[in-house]
Amino acid sequence: MKAYKIIALALSMSIFSCNHNTEQETIAETDLIEITKAQFEAEGMEIGEPGVNEFAEMVHFTGTIIPAVTGQAQVSLPIPGMIKNIIVKPGQNINKGSLLFEVAGNEFVETQKDYAESYALLERLKSEFLRAKELYEQNITTEKDYLLAQSNYLGENARYNGLKIKLETMGLDVTKIETGEFYSSFFIKSPIRGFVAAIDAAIGQYVEPQQKIADIIDDQSYQLRLSFFEQNINKIEQGQRVVFFLGGNATDPYEASISSVGRTIMHESKSIEGFAEIKNKGNLVNNQFVEGDVYVTSDSALSVPETAVLYSENDSYLLALENETNEAYFFKPVKIETGRKTNNFVELLVQLPDEKVLIKGIYNVQIE
């Protein structure tokens, strides 16, 4: 690596008269750092000016990517049945209402039979009830007979409606079943859009209603679940900006904003959970680990890139452009006071004169 040292540069100007008499005027001698333009280009150096950048107090967090409560669904059967066909694959994108499974079984046939019988019986019981009501109002029959007819009708009506709702939930046309035209199988449909996260069934498997046979996750509902240490909870508020990274890849940040903050400390981790709405949900994976920062306060300050600061013992310097020739640049070390650091910028605590400084490639320069 090349090291550039301070040189004592005596700038002079010679004025020649027509009779070759020479008068020399010497400018005050100053310690400057000379960097040839060839060296400047080879080292990829750059010249710029201090600017105003955002500085923020941040709270660090770790967290995971999870779907919203309404963005995940567990699929099961409305009645016991056998898996006749599996229509989707794990990881497949689907829409709300997409077919997932085809189901058959004796219970399904029996449910249709019970509904058809209930429909036929209900018509007769309704007629008997209306007749008994008319006779009771004419004091021809007893109250006991009237109440019995009413009870039989209302009881069967409840059974009929329950079976009807169950069959309609399966997507079946009950008017066909009422005439004795039964279905041999029915389909399970997705209740939400998203992708198939898991399938927990096999063709030919007998499944009870309480068994989960698939998980569906809406990747457009992803949110950020964050964990904070309890000493930071009073700093976190709804709407604050969040910047996070996946797998430690700080070169590709994601943006979010705090949507809610918990009020319960978890015993094991001694941390508090919060949630953030993600602005760009592309390329995210369910349960993916992330880490990042919440911007709790923010202001602007004069600053320079970290690559512009030259450190010597306990002091910090900038190299201000003092002079330029056809062959070289000449820089003057300017002692500075620095403050906060964020996003690769260093805050300047003292206002500098308007001048250009070396902002890149300074790592090879040494002050002797």
Q: What is the pLDDT of residue 19?
A: 36
Listed by start position, the domains of the chain span: 6-50+306-339+355-364, 57-68+218-300, 77-207
Task: Tell me how crowded residue 238 is: count the other CB atoms within 10 A of its CB.
Answer: 12
Task: Tell me how crowded residue 153 is: count the other CB atoms within 10 A of its CB.
Answer: 21
The shares of helix, strand and coil residues in the chain, as percent rounded to the nearest 5, are: 25, 45, 30
Q: What is the pLDDT of residue 15?
A: 31
The label of the residue with tokens 């953030």 reads: 276
pTM > 0.75: yes or no: no
- Sequence letter at residue 279: K
Q: What is the pLDDT of residue 73?
A: 97
Using CA atoms, how far apart are residues 44 and 50, in angstroms rounded to an integer? 19
Q: What is the pLDDT of residue 53?
A: 86
Residues whose CB is less than 8 angstroms from the CB of residue 314 and which lie 6 or more positions away in sequence, other chains included: none
CA-based torsion, 295, 298, 304, 309: positive or negative:
negative
Q: What is the pLDDT of residue 30?
A: 54
Residue 115: φ, ψ to 5°: -70, -45
Q: What is the pLDDT of residue 368?
A: 61
Q: Which two tokens stand for residue 164?
A: 């009807």
Task: Tell me how crowded residue 26 is: count the other CB atoms within 10 A of its CB.
Answer: 9
Using CA atoms, how far apart are residues 352 and 304, in angstroms rounded to an integer? 11
Q: What is the pLDDT of residue 29?
A: 38
Q: Quick check: 348 and 302 in contact, CB under 8 A?
A: yes
Q: Quick check: 242 and 256 in contact, CB under 8 A?
A: yes
Kindly list the averaged pLDDT for each block of 10 residues, start to end, along the chain of length 368. Answer: 39 33 35 89 90 84 94 96 97 96 96 96 93 89 90 95 94 94 96 96 96 96 91 88 85 91 81 91 89 87 89 87 92 89 86 83 74
The label of the residue with tokens 């620095």 reads: 338
Q: Which two tokens stand for residue 276?
A: 């953030």
Name the residue among 170, 184, 182, 180 with its Cα closest to residue 119: 180
Q: Quick check: 297 and 57 in contact, CB under 8 A?
A: yes
The terminus-to-terminus CA distance of the chain in angstroms comes to 16
Q: What is the pLDDT of residue 37?
A: 92
Name the residue among 362, 252, 272 with its Cα closest to residue 308: 362
Q: Is the CATH number 2.50.20.10 carried by domain 57-68+218-300? A: no
Q: What is the pLDDT of residue 36?
A: 92
